[in-house]
Structure 1
């Protein structure tokens, strides 16, 4: 159950395949501003045809695209519809969730705090937020402010993100890291995690005397850039007169899904921004202006450069900086990030040495389409080898999805009937509180007492169950987002006499242990 990054590790790996390997002659690499503008203008008709064909292939209901060049939004257009089955068309001003492209906004607010003397990049996180602890005390003590957004913590990718969908608040997510296993090498391995950003947002709000990181980004970025349509709540996007509706995709259909007040907004700096093409274009203009926007300095060039600097390798041509991915291509670097919530996909990126930025916003879960169409443009503007990026991304997405369906398929041989009452009882976690397991209608059901979320357990093997969220009450929107996807797998552990003593949530992204109380 990974809400953000749309399986980001797979997505960034796919970008390598989408990036041409052959360099063109040197004269193709040194375009001036006027020649670059001519190249962009000449590419638009082919790009629009390619984008619309790709939307059909990926079954994307609607998209909005913008291109920035030479400190101007020179192209902005909407395609398709805001909601499947309804006539309202997407236009450049239509608001979308932008998912993990929010992480670069977080890194910029960190840079602003350093500019203001409120923080240092090397400050210890545990000194600023004592609630932040890791299972390895040395790593927990040594992790610094810069590490929070550099994706090199050593934690399991996406660890404990699923707690959001079960009703737990931001501070519980932060506290959950104290028991989360470190499965990678600290500061050496790329490992995509969201909750460290939540911790950073809490630190910034406390340091700046604000209620939340939403206030920090509004006062530090949105207002000075004039991003008047940008927000960070479900209420704000729902009330906006011009907004897209998110969609989830499965084998059967593409389906509109509701907004929810906690998802993705509790994750805040990790993925909680709503925006549109005109607003994101202003953000890109600031990046391309190296911290300057019109007559204002938004971020110092020195600290903005810190956010662009690679910190950990993803593979031979991709690195993660702070809230940005950096791609090395034969004819120039690309600084970018994608975003994926349960119903939206996004790409925001730029060519820092060519003065060009691109934003692609879509209203369906991110399966690789936004990155593919953006990469198609980058390669042609840079003079890299031209490939069919959408076709490659679609093939990769279908391969991943086939593997996921195989893993999630019901067991070939149904587990033997067993006495479900043996599992019934109360279990306890120091972090998540009491859990009641009961037998109802011949099936096991699990209720989290602190949040009132209920899950139904379907047997996969002896003592092993798939747990799916019930579509009831406040959890109906989250259940609609997830469809038939399991929250986690649960294994009950027995003692030597066969009595059930413990319940383990065994999905790597949601490792939790509950001891039986009675």
Structure 2
């Protein structure tokens, strides 16, 4: 999941930078309702600025869902309107659900926050042996590993299974200081899900989640598979942004293969119940589902993201003079989401959209928080739209740095068998004047496009064949990875190395 953390932080800083005096304002239902006409104008402006087809919003106050509304359509070009009951992918807001299930397991005495991960998952291994030994259960959802951001997430699109995802962490470079530097990852949450399932004797993390949280909360519409959202009569279609929004298919690979990092599908009534549990400090309708002490562990800042914002455990914590904001956003290939609350103000908000997250959910949420808290008013939507434009231009510039060219006569020397210790065998072959790469374990095929100025450098696109038609559509045909064929002193090809930081894999050439 790639939530737009940076854009949200800019918005939060802009909203609070000029506050010099804390004047805590306890929100009331009446004061929140007074904001709604202007808030709905912001929704309309945001949908236009970001080309979002549909939005659903819910606001919780004082243990009640006091506002629900749908805007726009479930799928571009179709008349079905978004309603509060429409199901969306909620992306990385799922991480807070993992954190709460960890807290429940600690409550039950089945886990300890400081348990070494390898005591529960012996296959867990990082490049640094010391970090491996000292990595604790709490660290799994605290985003302070220091590893390469988003490392190996894209393996889900190539068909690799959960165990390969976990094993892939052993080749992730340690770019930052363990427990000192913020680095956003998804795969450690998969490990956390395995630990929760094992501790509770459940077949999967979702089965455990359903028993311990979803069913007690009455979140009957919340699911965790592509099949479930597709089967729901009232579900939104995801879209990615090209020149205009383009529909994105549902597929088990992403985000569902990442499980507790971002697999949930939900709607406003269900997510409203989730925020009520958080605002109730672990209680829901008179029942204690998680202790206040261990829930507080998940809200407590663990690693700084900037001077006002830190990552906690499955949540982001932002400090403003009038009060704290606990929140998280979510971004999948076709949806954007935000869920957050004011723990001292009995108020929360959920925003779900059916376009990949360009920053609109956070912009609307920050607009709401600022006005509820009495922070200085900022044009959050305009700021977020400008940030999104900058990111798109930067992506175009990066793509322009690779100039395609004709296939070199050297290409025949690249053909052959290669093997990765993590990803297995790979075959490079010439076919009809083009070079292709097949990953034998999953049968994913990559089309290799040569660089004009460097005959050993290629960029690879996922071929839309077999089980990979939908993943290829989800990627929009964009280059999947850059790779280089490396040689020894005699000029003989020795290995194929993937160059993208998020996919740090080397495939030594097999004996000929």
Q: TM-score, normalised by structure 2?
A: 0.97
Q: Per the alignment, in what secondary structure is the counterpart of residue 113 of structure 1?
A: helix
- Residue 462 of structure 1: how far off its partner (Å): 2.7
Question: Which of 335, 341, 359 is the aligned partner of 1:368?
Answer: 359
Structure 2 unaligned segments of length 5 or more: list them.
none
- Residue 29 of structure 1: how far off its partner (Å): 2.3
Residues 444 and 456 in structure 1, CA contact (< 8 A), matched pair in contact too: yes
Aligned residues: 509
Task: List 4+ stretches of structure 1 deviating above 3 A.
Answer: 15-18, 410-418
What residue is the counterpart of 1:146 in the other structure? 138
Question: Which of 324, 341, 347 is the aligned partner of 2:332?
Answer: 341
Q: Per the alignment, in what secondary structure is the counterpart of residue 201 of structure 1?
A: helix
Q: Does 1:64 align with 2:56?
A: yes
Q: Distance in 2 between matches of 1:245 and 1:239?
A: 12
What residue is the counterpart of 1:30 in the other structure? 25
Residues 21 and 330 in structure 1, CA contact (< 8 A), matched pair in contact too: no
Relative to structure 1, is the Cα distance of residues 7 and 75 closer, same or farther in structure 2, using a 3 angstrom cutoff?
closer
What residue is the counterpart of 1:304 in the other structure? 295
Q: Does 1:161 align with 2:157?
A: no
Q: Per the alignment, in what secondary structure is the counterpart of residue 2 of structure 2?
A: coil
Q: Distance in 2 between matches of 1:128 and 1:365?
A: 35
Q: Does 1:487 align with 2:480?
A: yes
Residues 45 and 381 in structure 2, CA contact (< 8 A), matched pair in contact too: no
Residues 404 and 449 in structure 2, CA contact (< 8 A), matched pair in contact too: no
Q: Per the alignment, in what secondary structure is the counterpart of residue 48 of structure 2?
A: helix
CA offset digits 1:187-239 (Å, max 9, x no partner): 00000010000001011111111111110111111000000100111111111
Deviates more, 1:323-332 or 1:376-385: 323-332
Relative to structure 1, is the Cα distance of residues 410 and 185 closer, same or farther in structure 2, using a 3 angstrom cutoff?
closer
Residues 24 and 384 in structure 1, CA contact (< 8 A), matched pair in contact too: no
Structure 1 unaligned segments of length 5 or more: list them.
none
What residue is the counterpart of 2:343 in the other structure? 352
Q: Distance in 2 between matches of 1:53 and 1:334?
A: 24
1:461-500, aligned counterparts within 5 Å?
461-500=454-493
What residue is the counterpart of 1:170 in the other structure? 162
Q: Distance in 2 between matches of 1:376 and 1:441?
A: 55
Q: Per the alignment, in what secondary structure is the counterpart of residue 492 of structure 1?
A: strand
Q: Distance in 2 between matches of 1:411 and 1:261?
A: 31
- Residue 497 of structure 1: how far off its partner (Å): 1.5
What residue is the counterpart of 1:444 in the other structure? 435
Question: Which of 265, 288, 308 is the aligned partner of 1:274?
Answer: 265
What residue is the counterpart of 1:259 in the other structure? 250
- Residue 180 of structure 1: how far off its partner (Å): 1.5
What residue is the counterpart of 2:95 in the other structure? 103
Residues 18 and 375 in structure 1, CA contact (< 8 A), matched pair in contact too: no
Residues 415 and 459 in structure 1, CA contact (< 8 A), matched pair in contact too: yes
Q: Per the alignment, in what secondary structure is the counterpart of residue 238 of structure 1?
A: helix
Q: Distance in 2 between matches of 1:272 and 1:412?
A: 36
**C-alpha RMSD over aligned residues:** 1.4
Q: Distance in 1 between matches of 2:437 and 2:176?
A: 32
Deviates more, 1:11-20 or 1:326-335: 11-20
What residue is the counterpart of 1:389 in the other structure? 380
Q: Distance in 2 between matches of 1:88 and 1:12?
A: 30
Q: Distance in 2 between matches of 1:309 and 1:410?
A: 42
